A = this chain, B = another copy of it.
Amino acid sequence: MLMSKILIIEDEPAVCKLLVYNLEKAHYQTWVAQDGVQGLSAALQWKPDLVVLDIMLPQMDGLEVCRQLRQSSAVPILFLTARTEEIDRVLGLELGADDYLCKPFSMRELLARIKAILRRAAPLPSAPSPTFQMDPAQRTFTVHHQPLVLTKLEFDLIAVLMTHAGQVFSREQLLQVAWGYDYFGDTRAVDSAIKRLRAKLREVAPDEDPIEALRGIGYRWKAA
């Protein structure tokens, strides 16, 4: 499973910001909806892998959102509650919450629970088919769903670039991030690594060339 999509339905901007920041740092894609109506719409169209749902929402409350969502989707839901008592209503209604957290919660705990929920969720046939896909956890990389074997260095390199698609990295930066902070050597090593990577990619996707060289600046993964 790669780059799981997490929909956040939460009205407090501060909490949203915190969630988005940490989830994206953990390599999840995020989408924020500020109220229940927008949340339902986003859930149905964007088809997230997990919904983080605040119980207290303006207009339509989280329980109602959950009930309506359940009529058309089995997406896992993690509830956020301000008070412990609220969760009794969720559990009592058997709405199919997969987990819940009471505010205030530690980010580590949230991430652990999200990871656990996603691990449990059966790998359903996901629709989108970008040509290049990377799974940091399994260290696998696929092109058109066909696995491509990469060396450690190659994978580390492509991981940095892909997870920051569009961002330019200088050779020095790449050495730091993919080789390691204690590495001292010619920055031309980066050229060689890129060369080998491109050669492998060309084998299976001759018309793509997703790694762009910016003269005098560095390299970047072509933005989507």
Contact = CB atoms under 8 A, between A and B. Distances in A.
- Identical chains in the assembly: 2
B152 A214 contact: yes
A138 interface: yes
Contact of A167 (B115, B138, B168): B138
Interface in A38-88: 84, 87-88
B138 A168 contact: yes
A207 interface: no
A217 B84 contact: no
B84 A139 contact: no
Interface string A197-224: 0000000000000000011110010010
25 contacts: A84-B108, A84-B109, A88-B108, A88-B112, A91-B112, A91-B115, A91-B116, A98-B116, A98-B120, A99-B116, A120-B120, A137-B167, A138-B166, A138-B167, A138-B220, A139-B168, A139-B214, A139-B217, A140-B166, A140-B223, A151-B215, A151-B216, A152-B215, A152-B216, A152-B217
